């Protein structure tokens, strides 16, 4: 109902199955389900959107009479689930699965149970669990399925006995007194919420108020044989043991054309006496008295939400405990008691004034429209002048004080709740009924003569049955007073379940979940509990085992601020498997036993292996704490020592002393060159190196405590006080780039100022791998080092000034070892054009063409880490300015090099560039988009103006077009090496729409069929493959006129570009100018119908010829479909185009469908549609049976003749709208019609429908088997893909009808 009205909101965590999403997989495999919580009740897992099903199933479970009746049916009547696949076995799967689910919920020790087996028995596929439905609709369908499943068993009357009731509608002639009565059955009562403030008020309107037929609306009396005045009323005749009230909280606003939810205050009692609403009132009070035991609640709006249920535990199966944070009881001062015997008027208190006025009336009530006048007579001033400013309108004031006032007599009079009007003064009203008590306990409420106590402690919950909130997998205890919170708001009551107070439970059933559970189900649950217990033990054992890495102090020594292994060749680590549920003392004892020679104290300290070495953190001192509480997990490092020193050295532990591994860089002397080179190269290979580690500088890795100051580091390095410490300029390596970033054999270092010598390494943000340059004063005499302020520049020695150039001519197939290479001397100031010239000379490329200039142009290109060529470097720049580092490799490739003012771009035609398919072009940065496009078209030999440029998006796909063709590439922020796509088609001007046009080919229209032959001769640029098969009734293949399955064809005819200010008539005119539609001849555009296509389906007809395309909400890129008509058409905004087809009498097929325009502007009820169809076919409305076809599911939804009775007030009758839930009639829907006068077959399904349903079942079975074989990962990936695909459209997902498949057991 209401489409996806009850779709789970994503932010509602309870709306989904938490166990499915938060399950963790540990070493021992999948985690077993957790045991029951403190409530000792079991929840139900949400399959993704089955909260509505879970709420109803919990209500049925906590209906003991229903549960015990179901358990009383044995295998001899229902069959066995093991035999369900046998062809001749009659196994009633639905009640059997319901029995097993109830037994699991009662007896299996797990937090929540799964309904997968039950929904499988419904015939639902895997996607049905995510579809959202209405719980009221499910209640009726599930009961119907159970009735059909139990035919021929002792439980065939189960639903009828427990839930079936009857009402009687009476019409009394005012002239002769003749009474005409008609009896109706019900399983639940649908009561109105709109315009009513309480359940009693709604029942009063339905079963007490009379509707008069008078004036122009007279009744024809059969006895008088003429039109007379009459009164119509309804009464309850037979009351079932269980009364279900369905609240109509969702309505449709025809003025705004949108759905909305009634969130106003709507009270309902805990106990109610239905005697005033019955036609037979001579029984005992207990025969009419009911008590509330379940409230299904809907949270959310009309387009999304979540269900949960409040349930009274009648058999006391759960363990109720008060909530942790009990809210303070509401002050009773709010419920102002009025002494009606001696009214006291306080002129400035509107509550006192109104209560005095009402109390002084003889009838103890006042007409609402006279209350304002009586107020003026009493006070001399109107409500608007005296009270409105501070208290709002008088109606709102009365509503906000509903603890004092109550509306009676159909809402026309107001009375005091403390002193309702007597039956002698006016008609019986809902005020005499039992109402919901005050949220505070009954003992807390005072009387009119007893003032409330100011400091009143909340009473403990009385013994007996308690209330619980069952929210999917979660079960929590609630107080009875919490029910009042569901009177109003977005989270409010949606279904109420009452039971007769005379239904008493035996003492054997109380606190006994085994009561009347069949022995075979008890045995099944015991086996399941044994398996769960075994799984939990295995899981706990495997999940709590941790692998500890022990480091013994005897293998370590303190060096460079961290612990280092004494012998590098030894591992020094002992691995120990231990249960983390054991204590630290147990671990210490185990290590003592392992180290037999250990003497003295033993300290266990958490350690961590860092680049600088092993460092210690916190010591485990409390032997009574478990390893889990101490934060010990798998692969934790523990250092075993005496807690004081290691090899005579004191250790500094903690995060503040965490060591930092620095790369200390020093200059080396000429005689130390060999060693320096080795150190430098070795470090560069081992650590990724920095440029300054080249020959001329030597590097050494040293670790220092993070809490040590920079001065202490200098002292530890043995450097004199005059030495200078420097850090790489810009913080050293950034983002994986080397050095200082200046390139060309020189880099910069920043000198630490004197004040930094007192700061620690942590304060200076020095981290592992950072380089620290140490220079003595005499080092500045060398040409390698130069000082400029606080920056030291290090120039690379001459023997490192070179670039390697590699020649690449053979394309991608050329092997790297076959390429010729040359080592070219270079410096940071050398121009790249000189580097290229020297490389050409070294590679002897000019000698290949003696006597001629070089005919092939070459350029220098860098290569990234993947081996891909980067854009050519600008040869006008120096090595340093171009960002090229010395001692790296450049590639010499055929091609031109861009100048400093030019851009090198990649481009392709039609599709995104791919390896080997892209082309290159060099253009000026000031070049416009138009000039760039022309250059690209000239390069590939294309002509014409029907082209434009597009960018590539972030995922390397064709993206947005470059709209401003006169803008320069630099203005559009197109950079060196970007890729563009030359795309066919012109850019539409701003404000224009580009629409794809399809032609609707209807086989039933001869003119359209004849046009099909002309398409073969029309050169419109579209192939025959560009056709869409659209089935108007299901997936019927071919032409089947008897079944109504007409296969229509959509053929693409081109595109139109039109401004969004154009009218629909202008669009039709422009569409007719397409070359492919030259043969279509229509007198005026009104002979053409335009559909909007959504998801390859005819979605809606574009109406109103003079409306602009912007108002019709057409977007660029939309698909439209045109259909030729045989007459003019102008469908109104509230008219619906339906395809109606009459059933062939006594056969399972239909006559060909006809188009019918139904005017739903005034009345959209089933009665209006039935009247329209009756006039169309010349039949009586009562003889027609209607149904809407669901082509996706191959099913028919019957449009009932019965209209829900919402209100009996005169001129306020509200009927069911076919434009809303559950039918949502729209353009193009198929309506099946049965003439009951000559056709007794009420089944609308055809043979084609049955075949389609069989295909769907086979596909569902294949998906289910594929999911079992592929595992949950495949389903998750497929589901994610489907969600992603579904998320691409903004429209809500279509409504899916709710159904339960039941076998035949007659």
Annotated catalytic sites, by residue?
51, 306
DSSP 29-82: EEPPPP---TT---EE---SS-HHHHHHHHHHHT-HHHHHHHHT--HHHH--GG
Please give the Cα distance from 1190 to 1226 (Å, whole number).
12
- Positive or negative CA dihedral for 503, 508, 512, 516? negative
Please give the Cα distance from 855 to 849 (Å, whole number).
8
**Contact predicate 828/744, CB 8 Å:** yes
Please give the Cα distance from 295 to 297 (Å, whole number).
6
CA distances from residue 438 to 259, 331, 335, 1286 in whole angstroms, order as listed: 33, 11, 9, 48
Q: Is 1194 left (phi over 0), alpha (psi -120 to 50) or beta?
A: left
1018 φ, ψ (degrees, to nearest 5): -100, 120
- Positive or negative CA dihedral for 567, 569, 573, 574? negative
Please give the Cα distance from 351 to 398 (Å, whole number).
9
Beta-sheet strand order (sheet of 1184-1190) = 1154-1159, 1135-1142, 1230-1235, 1184-1190, 1195-1199
DSSP 590-635: HHHHH-TT--S--EEEEEEEETTEEEEEEEE--TTSBTTTTT--TT
User: Six-digit token pair at 1039?
Assistant: 């032409």
Beta-sheet strand order (sheet of 413-416) = 365-367, 413-416, 405-408
**Contact predicate 234/207, CB 8 Å:** yes
Q: Which of 657, 562, 671 is nearest to 614 (CA)?
A: 562
Q: Quick one: 966 exposed, middle or buried, by C-beta within 10 A (0-12, 13-18, 19+)? A: exposed
Helices (H) and strands (E) in the chain, counts: 25, 60
DSSP 157-174: THHHHHH-EEEEEEEEET
Q: How many CB atoms lie within 10 A of CB 1226?
A: 14
β pairing state of 992-1001 and 1119-1124: parallel
Q: Which of 187, 147, 159 is nearest to 69 (CA)?
A: 159
User: Six-digit token pair at 534?
Assistant: 């075994």
Please give the Cα distance from 2 to 137 (Å, whole number).
11
The CA R_g of the chain, rounded to the nearest whole Å, is: 43
**Contact predicate 232/211, CB 8 Å:** yes
User: Six-digit token pair at 794?
Assistant: 């290090």
Beta bridge partners of 1031: 1047
Please give the Cα distance from 437 to 480 (Å, whole number).
10
User: Six-digit token pair at 950?
Assistant: 């597009």
CA distances from residue 747 to 309, 701, 729 in whole angstroms, order as listed: 72, 20, 8
- 3 state DSSP class of 15: helix
- CA 1104 remoteness from chain centre: 37
Please give the Cα distance from 496 to 1240 (Å, whole number).
37
**Contact predicate 306/494, CB 8 Å:** no
Please give the Cα distance from 163 to 139 (Å, whole number).
11
| Helical H segments across 324-451, by residue range | 350-359, 368-379, 383-386, 388-391, 394-400
């Amino acid at each position: 109902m209401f489409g996806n009205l009850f779709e789970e909101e994503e932010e509602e965590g309870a709306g989904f199955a938490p166990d499915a999403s938060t399950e963790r997989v540990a070493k021992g495999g999948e985690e077993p389900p957790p045991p029951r919580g403190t409530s000792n009740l079991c929840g139900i897992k949400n399959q993704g959107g089955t909260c509505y099903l879970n709420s109803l199933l919990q209500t049925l479970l906590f209906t003991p009479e229903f549960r015990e009746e179901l358990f009383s049916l044995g295998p001899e009547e229902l069959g066995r689930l093991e035999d369900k696949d046998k062809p001749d076995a009659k196994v009633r799967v639905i009640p059997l699965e319901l029995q097993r689910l109830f037994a699991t919920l009662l007896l299996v020790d797990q937090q929540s149970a799964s309904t997968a087996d039950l929904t499988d028995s419904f015939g639902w596929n895997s996607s049905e669990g995510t579809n959202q439905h209405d719980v009221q609709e499910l209640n009726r369908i599930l009961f119907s399925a159970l009735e059909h499943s139990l035919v021929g068993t002792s439980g065939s009357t189960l639903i009828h006995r427990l839930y079936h009731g009857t009402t009687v509608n009476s019409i009394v002639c005012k002239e002769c007194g003749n009474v005409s009565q008609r009896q109706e059955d019900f399983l639940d009562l649908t009561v109105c919420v709109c315009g009513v403030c309480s359940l009693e008020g709604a029942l009063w309107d339905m079963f007490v108020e009379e509707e008069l037929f008078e004036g122009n609306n007279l009744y024809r009396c059969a006895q008088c044989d003429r039109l007379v005045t009459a009164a119509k009323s309804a009464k309850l005749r037979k009351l079932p043991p269980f009364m279900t009230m369905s609240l109509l909280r969702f309505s449709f606003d025809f003025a705004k054309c949108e759905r909305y939810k009634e969130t106003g205050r709507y009270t309902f009692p805990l106990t109610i006496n239905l005697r005033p609403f019955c036609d037979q009132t001579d029984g005992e009070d207990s025969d009419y008295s009911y008590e509330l035991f379940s409230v299904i609640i809907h949270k959310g709006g009309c387009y999304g939400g979540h269900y949960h249920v409040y349930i009274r535990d009648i058999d006391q199966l759960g363990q109720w405990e008060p909530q942790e944070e009990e809210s303070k009881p509401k002050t009773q001062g709010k419920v102002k008691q009025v002494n009606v015997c001696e009214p006291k008027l306080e002129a400035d208190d509107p509550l006192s004034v109104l209560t005095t006025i009402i109390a002084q009336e003889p009838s103890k009530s006042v007409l609402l429209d006279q209350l304002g006048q009586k107020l003026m007579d009493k006070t001399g001033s109107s409500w608007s002048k005296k009270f409105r400013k501070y208290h709002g309108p008088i109606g709102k004031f009365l509503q906000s004080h509903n603890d004092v006032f109550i509306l009676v007599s159909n809402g026309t009079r107001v009375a005091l709740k403390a002193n309702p009007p007597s039956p002698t003064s006016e008609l019986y009203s809902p005020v005499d009924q039992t109402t919901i008590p005050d949220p505070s306990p009954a003992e807390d409420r005072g009387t009119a003569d007893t003032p409330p106590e100011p400091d009143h402690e909340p009473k403990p919950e009385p013994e007996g049955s308690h209330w619980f909130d069952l929210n999917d997998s979660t079960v929590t205890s609630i107080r009875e007073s919490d029910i009042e919170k569901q009177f109003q708001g977005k989270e409010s009551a949606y279904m109420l379940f009452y039971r007769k107070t005379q239904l008493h439970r035996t003492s054997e059933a109380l606190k006994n979940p085994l009561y009347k559970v069949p022995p075979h189900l008890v045995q099944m649950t015991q086996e399941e509990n044994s398996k769960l217990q075994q799984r939990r033990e295995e899981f706990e054992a495997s999940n709590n085992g941790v692998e500890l890495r022990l480091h013994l102090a005897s293998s370590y020594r303190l060096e460079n601020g961290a612990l280092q292994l004494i012998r590098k060749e030894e591992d020094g680590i002992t691995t120990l498997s231990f249960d983390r549920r054991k204590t630290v003392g147990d671990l210490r004892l185990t290590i003592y036993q392992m180290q037999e020679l250990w003497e003295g104290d033993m300290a266990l300290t958490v350690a961590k292996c860092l680049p600088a070495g092993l460092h210690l953190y916190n010591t485990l001192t409390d032997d009574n704490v478990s390893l889990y509480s101490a934060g010990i997990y798998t692969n934790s490092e523990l250092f075993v020592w005496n807690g004081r020193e290691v090899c005579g050295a004191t250790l500094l532990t903690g995060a503040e002393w965490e060591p930092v591994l620095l790369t200390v860089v020093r200059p080396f002397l000429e005689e130390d060159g060999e060693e320096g080179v080795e150190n430098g190269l070795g470090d560069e290979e081992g650590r990724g190196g920095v440029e300054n580690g080249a020959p001329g500088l030597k590097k050494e890795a040293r670790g220092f405590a993070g809490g040590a100051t920079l001065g202490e580091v200098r002292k530890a390095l043995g450097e004199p006080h005059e030495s200078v410490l420097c850090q790489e300029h810009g913080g050293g390596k950034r983002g994986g780039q080397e050095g200082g970033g200046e390139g060309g054999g020189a880099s910069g270092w920043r000198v630490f100022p004197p004040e930094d010598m007192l700061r620690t390494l942590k304060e200076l943000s020095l981290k592992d791998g950072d380089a620290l340059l140490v220079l003595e004063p005499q080092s500045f005499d060398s040409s390698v080092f130069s000082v400029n302020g606080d920056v030291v520049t290090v120039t690379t020695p001459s023997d490192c000034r070179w670039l390697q150039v590699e020649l690449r001519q053979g394309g991608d197939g050329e092997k790297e070892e076959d390429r010729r290479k040359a080592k070219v001397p270079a410096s940071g100031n050398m121009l790249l054009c000189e580097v290229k010239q020297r490389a050409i000379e070294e590679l002897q490329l000019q000698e290949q063409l003696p006597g001629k200039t070089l005919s092939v142009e070459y350029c220098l290109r860098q290569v990234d880490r993947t081996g891909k060529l980067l854009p050519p470097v600008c040869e006008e720049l120096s090595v340093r300015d171009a960002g090229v580092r010395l001692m790296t490799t450049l590639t010499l490739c055929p091609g031109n090099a861009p100048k400093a003012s030019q851009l090198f771009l990649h481009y392709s035609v039609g599709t995104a560039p791919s390896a080997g398919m892209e082309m290159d072009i060099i253009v000026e940065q000031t070049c416009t988009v138009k000039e760039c496009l022309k250059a690209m078209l000239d390069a590939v030999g294309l002509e014409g103006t029907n082209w434009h440029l597009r960018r590539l998006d972030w995922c390397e796909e064709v993206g947005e077009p470059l709209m401003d063709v006169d803008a320069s590439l630099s203005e559009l922020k197109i950079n060196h090496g970007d890729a563009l796509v030359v795309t066919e088609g012109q850019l539409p001007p701003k404000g224009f729409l580009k629409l794809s046009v399809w032609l609707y080919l209807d086989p039933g229209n001869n003119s359209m069929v004849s046009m099909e032959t002309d398409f073969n001769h029309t050169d419109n640029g579209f192939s025959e493959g560009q056709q869409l098969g659209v089935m108007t009734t299901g997936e019927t293949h071919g032409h089947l006129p008897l079944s109504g399955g007409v296969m229509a064809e959509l053929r693409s005819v081109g595109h139109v570009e039109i401004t969004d200010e154009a009218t629909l008539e202008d669009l039709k005119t422009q569409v007719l100018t397409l070359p492919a539609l030259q043969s279509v001849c229509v007198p005026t555009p009104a002979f053409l119908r335009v559909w909007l296509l959504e998801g390859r389906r005819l979605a809606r007809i574009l109406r109103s010829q003079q409306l602009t395309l912007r108002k019709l909400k057409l977007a660029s890129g939309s698909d439209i479909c045109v259909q030729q008509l045989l007459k003019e058409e102008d469908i109104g905004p509230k008219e619906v185009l339906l395809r109606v087809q009459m059933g062939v009498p006594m056969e399972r097929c239909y006559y060909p469908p006809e188009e019918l325009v139904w005017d739903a502007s005034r009345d959209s009820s089933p009665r209006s549609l039935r009247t329209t169809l009756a006039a169309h076919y010349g039949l009586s409305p009562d003889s027609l049976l209607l149904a809407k076809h669901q082509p996706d599911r191959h099913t028919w939804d019957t449009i009932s003749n019965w209209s829900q009775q919402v209100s009996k007030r005169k001129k306020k009758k509200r009927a069911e709208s076919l434009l809303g839930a559950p039918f949502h009639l729209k353009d193009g829907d198929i309506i099946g019609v049965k003439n009951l006068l000559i056709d007794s077959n009420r089944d609308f399904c055809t043979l084609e429908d049955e075949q389609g349903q069989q295909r769907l079942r086979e596909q569902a079975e294949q998906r289910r088997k594929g999911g079992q074989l592929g595992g949950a990962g495949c389903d998750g990936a497929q589901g994610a893909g489907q969600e992603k695909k579904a998320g691409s459209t903004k429209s809500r997902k279509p409504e899916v009808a709710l159904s339960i498949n039941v076998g035949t057991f007659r």
